[in-house]
Amino acid sequence: MRDQARAIKDETLAHLDRYLEQFAGNAERAGARIHWARDGREVSNIIIELLHERNAKRVVKSKSMATEEIHLNDALEEAGIETVETDLGEWIIQLAHETPSHIVVPAIHKSKKQIADLFVEKIGIEPTDDVDKLTGAARRVLRQRFAEADAGISGVNFGVAETGTILILENEGNIRLTTSLPKIHFALMGIEKVIPRFADIDVFLKLLPRSGTGQQLTTYQSLITGQKKRPEDEGPEELHIILMDNGRSRMLAHPVTRQSLACIRCGACLNACPVYQQIGGHAYGSVYPGPIGAVITPQLIGISKATQLPYASSLCGACREVCPVKIDIPALLLHLRSEIVEGSASGSVDEQGPVKRKFSEHLAFRLYAFAWSRRRLYEWSARIARLFQRAAVRQGRIGKVSGLIAKLAPPLGAWTAGRDARPIAPRTFREQWRADSEIK
Amino acid sequence: MTETSLEARREILSSIREHLAESKRFDTQDVHPPTTARRTTSKSVAGDRDKPVIELFRHALEAVSGHCSIVRTIDEAAQAVQEIVAERKASGPPATAGGSDSHSRRVAVSDSALVRAILGRVKTEAAFLDSPSQAELFDCDVGITCAQWAIAETGTLVLESERERNRLASLVPPVHVAIIEASRIRRSMSEVLELIKKSDVGLSRAVTFITGPSRTSDIELTLAIGVHGPGELHVIVIDEAAPPA
Ligand code: SF4
């Protein structure tokens, strides 16, 4: 299945212009309105202008890395539009004025206690440590937001060229609400999200959750093809699909960098990565953390602006092993490192000329030292370690991990001297998910 | 499309073409041959192959915390609906304008003929709302729809918006009851994808795949059910050939 998925992605990317035009044409025939945007600013302008024209002031959003990438919320806020994140994790971090630390589980850095305190302060619930109660409180508050919203903004997981269908996957149901209740639906889609045929949906629907969360399928998939045909039908009156480049088309220039565009944002490489486990999502200082973040951030924002990121890896290869579309992340990192060292190889990514080798692999180790010296990040990494580390042990990568930890023993030792070290939970993330899905 | 959007379109497409052309010099072997439309027979666990689809479906649905009842007739389906509705406590404000009947449950229903036929046989105090407004919908305790297809291997329901008004009734109330005829259960997703694409009403504007109740693991990776969508999912399969209960 992985080979098949990668072959489909490769084929699409090799003819991306054709498939994009086919997608846009078919979506338009079905009644969607298509917009093209070269960068994030153009995306924000399109959305803000349409909202202003319709006198729309309140927007609900479902989780979308593409909107995070372009900081859409900030732009909307500046334009006087109230934006509410509706994915539970995203909403939590929006309440706390923070940023996501994981592409699938954005609030993974926050403990239940922190979330409960936040809810007590911001939405006035009674203190509780019951996850169901916390979730219920969020449901009630967000229901109100859905009812008031003038427009919904979502991302897109896949766009089918053959039919002009957009596909969105989720577990919570907030995407269904975002794309069904408000009168206007905006869908932001990176140009690399196209897949050729309707039948290709099969493989991707199964692959994404299996790699990301260990589920067979996510709870919901919405397949949306254009606009409703009759006024009495359910669903929004307008569907706007925004096709965004924002640095993607230039990644096509080399077979190595082109691979980055096959990423389906499943999060598996984050969960497998020993560096991510140690330093946490925020330490990457970019919207996309983890191995895939280290690879695509420099390409999206310009390599000279993110010279450390390609070094935030021990090149252990765990990410390559787990990736459902077989992206060779270590090869990509080496490629980017060589561009940094030798100056711009492709001529288009590096505007500031060669960056000397002194920004070397040691930076990765400095990242560790940094992380372990900060209390908050320690707690963070302990949580990640607890959740993910056993998987690493089982797959024989612990040698690598413990080697690195050994280097850091002194600061960690000093830190833990006065505190209890957290035990590592007996169950892994994947085991947890599997067990959870068996609960009746 | 605005002037800027047209210009962006031109530029993005030509940037794609230029960069693809640039990469040609690195290509050792040529691009993959176009993949042809193929039926992927999903690798199912040994034994699944021969399992009857209805059994397979029930098993997969229960594995994702859904409830499944298999009945033989519309009357039995009505009985099952009645029981599910009776188990619910009314949560919203009074159903009647006068507010006298403060305990009556509200049920949002789709406009499908099968659902109508079943509800005609349900004896209950509950109020059935067949095209609830958005505000009414938020106060409903149960939503009842059909499912047009089901995928046995994964326990998935497939709802087509061109067949019935099913989008909100299946989503907003805390309990979703879906009714499906046994003949509409298929083994694999690829079969169902083909059916919805070639549907005689055309590919629906919204096709929804539902596999179990709404869930999240956003708080400390602890599973919580029913965060935005229904926390309970009941599927009633009408199978005339089923052995009597
Ligand atoms: S690089 Fe691969 S493993 Fe990482 S998020 Fe993308 S698809 Fe998933």
Could you write out the DSSP letters of every residue in B126-187? PEEESS--HHHHHT-SEEEEE-SEEETTTTEEEEETTTSS-TTTTTSSSEEEEEEEGGGEES
Residue A329 placed within a domain: yes
CATH architecture of B53-93+102-238: 3-Layer(aba) Sandwich (3.40)
Among A196, A212, A246, the domain-final residue is A246
Q: Which of the residue ranges A268-282, A360-374, B221-235 has the most confident prediction, judged by mean pLDDT?
A: B221-235
B contacts of A432 (beta carbons < 8 Å)? 217, 221
CB A179 within 8 A of CB A152: yes
Half-sphere exposure at residue B245, Cβ-oriented, CA atoms within 13 angstroms = 11
Average the pLDDT over B133-138 and give the result: 86
The pLDDT of residue A306 is 79
Neighbours of B198 (CB within 10 A): 10
Cβ contact (<8 Å) for B65 and A229?
A: no
For residue A245, pLDDT over 90 is answered with yes
CATH of the domain at A224: 3.40.50.10420
- According to DSSP, residue B30 is labeled P
Residues A15 and A192: their CA atoms lie apart, in Å, by 11
Interface of A with B in 73-102 (CB under 8 A): 86-89, 92
Between chains, do A131 and B63 touch, taking CB under 8 Å as contact? no
Nearest CA in chain B to A240: B1
Candidates B167, B101, B223, B82; CA nearest to A220 is: B167
* Residues A397-412, mean pLDDT to the nearest whole number: 32
Are A164 and A292 in the same domain? no
- Pairing type for strands B127-129 and A238-244 reads unpaired
Same domain, A21 and A90: yes
Q: Percent of chain A at pLDDT above 90?
A: 38
Of the candidates A211, A246, A281, which is a domain's last residue?
Answer: A246
Contact (CB, 8 A) for A260 and A291: no
Say if residue A409 is in the same domain as residue A284: no
Calculate mean pLDDT across residues A168-188: 94
- The answer to whether residues A77 and A138 belong to one domain is yes
Query: What is the nearest CA distance from B92 to chain A, expressed in angstroms?
Result: 13
Distance CA B81, CA B74 (A): 10
Cβ contact (<8 Å) for B171 and A180?
Answer: yes
Choose between B188 and A381: higher pLDDT: B188
**H or E element at residue B114:** helix B113-119
Nearest CA to ligand 1 atom 7: A263
Q: For chain B, give every domain's residue range.
A: 53-93+102-238
* CB of A363 closer than 8 Å to CB of A307: no
- What is the overall mean pLDDT for chain A? 79
- Kindly give the distance from the C-alpha atom of residue A270 to the centroid of ligand 1, in angstroms, as a whole number: 8
Q: Read off the amino acid at residue B117.
A: A
Residue in B12, B193, B228 nearest the CB of A199: B193
What are A135-157's pLDDT values in tens digits? 888 898 999 999 999 999 999 99
* Dihedral angle over CA of A266, A179, A142, A140, nearest 10: -100
- Is pLDDT at A45 greater than 90 in this prediction? yes
Work out how many domains chain A is built from and give that number.
3
pLDDT tens track for A247-282: 999 999 888 889 999 999 888 888 888 888 888 888
CB A57 within 8 A of CB A82: yes
User: How far, in Å, from the CA of A157 to the mean position of ligand 1?
Assistant: 13
Domain assignment present for A256: no
Residues A315 and A232 grouped into a single domain: no
Residue A407 has pLDDT above 60, yes or no: no
As a whole-number percent, the residues of chain B with pLDDT over 70 amount to 84
| Ligand 1 pocket residues where CB is under 6 Å | A 211, 263-269, 292, 322-325, 327
Residue B109, helix vs strand vs coil:
strand
- The confidence band for B95, taking pLDDT boundaries of 50, 70 and 90, is very low
Q: Give nearest CA residue, ligand 1 atom 8.
A: A266
Does residue A254 form part of some domain?
A: no
Query: Could you tell me which of B198, B112, B117, B187 has the C-alpha nearest to residue B155?
Result: B187
pLDDT score of A353 more than 60: no
- On chain A, the residues whose CB falls within 8 A of the CB of B209 are 205, 217, 220-223
Give A245's contacts in chain B (Cβ within 8 Å). 8, 12, 15
Indicate if A329 and A425 belong to the same structural domain: no
B40 CB neighbours in chain A (<8 A) are: 1, 4, 202-203
Residue A362 is assigned to a structural domain of this protein: no
Looking at per-residue pLDDT, the higher value among B17 and A410 belongs to B17
Structural domain including A339 reads 263-352
Say if residue A199 is in the same domain as residue A76.
yes
pLDDT category at A35 given cuts 50, 70, 90 is very high
Supply the pLDDT for residue A393: 34
pLDDT at A57 over 90: yes
pLDDT tens per residue across span A409-424:
333 333 333 333 333 4
Strands B106-109 and B232-238: unpaired
- Is A103 found in the same domain as A193? yes
Smallest CA–CA separation between B216 and chain A, in Å? 6
Per-position DSSP letters for B120-131, written without gaps between them: TT---SPEEESS
Quote the pLDDT of residue A112: 87
Element (H, E) at A36: strand A33-37
Pocket-testing residue among A258, A261, A269, ligand 1, by greatest number of atoms within 8 A of Cβ: A269
What digits encode the pLDDT tens for the residues B24-63?
887 654 444 444 444 444 444 445 566 799 999 999 999 9
Residues B206 and B161 sit within 8 Å (Cβ to Cβ): yes
Separation in Å, CA of A2 to nearest CA in chain B? 13
List, in order, residues 6 or more apart from B36 with CB less than 8 Å away.
none
Query: So what's the pLDDT on residue A155?
Result: 96
Closest approach of chain B CAs to the CA of A299, in angstroms? 14
Interface test with B, best of A176, A179, A193, A270 (most B CBs within 10 A): A176
Q: Is A4 on the interface with B (CB under 8 A)?
A: yes
Of A38-47, A368-377, A383-392, B186-195, give the lowest mean pLDDT range.
Answer: A383-392
Residue A367's pLDDT band, with cuts at 50, 70 and 90, is low
